[in-house]
């Protein structure tokens, strides 16, 4: 099993952490989406990462689809079996991924548009969404023990991306969120290696 990934991507971090936690063997292939390499395009017409290529050759893409695939392959190690708790984990994952969508929209707006065309109102709107999500999470932190689930890995990926791209911009008034990665790492030491990095 191969996972095509980018080191900075929070979605890539999420699936690589989850696969590691679930005990699944995989190789990581660093992939530059901007160059549209054949290995990526041949397996994902959208040219996005992460993309998983199974031993059978089947391609699975979109991080949440990959998470569901990893859950099935691992014998249901990533989502709670209880329906209510599974829904909570899935909603946490969706919220963290949604915050990442907002953060990436900001980064791309600044990175790929000429300075005179950067739309500050768009950036501000995305940041307001992200802040509402962060405030909600800080007030409703998930229970974190040695039994982790997909939502925890999405949260770790999102906070890692914040630390990488928005360090110093979000922490004030959110001590629980700021300190959570240290707690998470006690239960998942591989976090230090697999979190989003430049």
Q: For strand 59-61 and strand 51-53, is the pairing parallel, antiparallel, or unpaired?
A: antiparallel
Per the domain annotation, does 197 fall within a domain?
A: no
Asked if 65 and 153 sit in the same domain, the reply is no
Query: Which of 25, 42, 73 is where one domain is finished?
Result: 73
Question: Residue 100 half-sphere exposure, CB side, CA atoms within 13 Å?
Answer: 26
Burial class (CB in 10 A: 0-12, 13-18, 19+), 161: buried
| pLDDT tens digits for range 114-129 | 999 999 999 999 999 9
Per the domain annotation, does 68 fall within a domain?
A: yes
pLDDT at 141: 97
Report the C-alpha gap between 197 and 159 in whole angstroms: 12
Report the C-alpha gap between 81 and 85 in whole angstroms: 8
| Mean pLDDT along residues 40-45 | 98
Asked if 89 and 185 sit in the same domain, the reply is yes
pLDDT at 160: 98
| Residue 21's CATH number | 3.40.30.10
Asked if 51 and 141 sit in the same domain, the reply is no
In the sheet with 51-53, reading across from the earlier edge strand, the strands are: 27-30, 2-5, 51-53, 59-61
Percentage, residues of the chain above pLDDT 70: 100
Per the domain annotation, does 194 fall within a domain?
A: no
pLDDT at 84: 98
Q: 96 falls in which pLDDT band (50, 70, 90)?
A: very high
Looking at every residue in the chain, the average pLDDT score rounds to: 97
pLDDT at 53: 98
Selection from 70, 90, 66, 89 nearest residue 12 by Cα: 66
pLDDT at 181: 98
Asked if 134 and 184 sit in the same domain, the reply is yes
Q: 47 falls in which pLDDT band (50, 70, 90)?
A: very high
Asked if 68 and 87 sit in the same domain, the reply is no
| pLDDT tens digits for range 118-174 | 999 999 999 999 999 999 999 999 999 999 999 999 999 999 999 999 999 999 999
Assign 174 to helix, strand or coil: coil
pLDDT at 98: 98
Q: 178 falls in which pLDDT band (50, 70, 90)?
A: very high
pLDDT at 43: 98
Asked if 123 and 61 sit in the same domain, the reply is no
Asked if 60 and 114 sit in the same domain, the reply is no
Is residue 102 within 8 Å of 126, Cβ to Cβ? yes
pLDDT at 143: 96
Measure Cα distances from 172 to 39, 57, 66, 135, 196 in Å. Answer: 42, 46, 33, 11, 21
Query: What is the count of structural domains for the chain?
Result: 2
| Residue 122's CATH number | 1.20.1050.10
Domain containing 149 equals: 83-189
């Amino acid at each position: 099993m191969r996972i095509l990934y980018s080191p900075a991507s929070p979605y890539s971090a999420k699936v690589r952490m989850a696969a590691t936690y679930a005990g699944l063997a995989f190789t990581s292939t660093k992939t530059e989406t901007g160059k549209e390499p054949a290995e990526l395009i041949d397996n994902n017409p959208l040219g996005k990462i992460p993309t998983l290529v199974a031993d059978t050759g089947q391609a699975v893409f979109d991080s949440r689809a990959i998470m569901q695939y990893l859950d099935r392959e691992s014998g249901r190690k990533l989502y709670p079996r209880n329906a209510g708790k599974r829904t909570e984990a899935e909603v946490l994952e969706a919220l963290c991924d949604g915050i990442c969508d907002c953060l990436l929209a900001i980064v791309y707006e600044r990175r790929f548009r000429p300075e005179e065309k950067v739309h500050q109102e768009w950036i501000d709107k995305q940041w307001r969404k992200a802040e509402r999500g962060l405030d909600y999470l800080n007030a409703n932190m998930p229970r974190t023990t040695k039994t982790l689930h997909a939502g925890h890995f999405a949260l770790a990926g999102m906070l890692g991306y914040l630390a990488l791209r928005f360090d110093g911009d979000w922490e004030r008034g959110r001590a629980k969120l700021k300190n959570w990665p240290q707690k998470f790492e006690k239960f998942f030491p591989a976090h230090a290696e697999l979190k989003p990095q430049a």
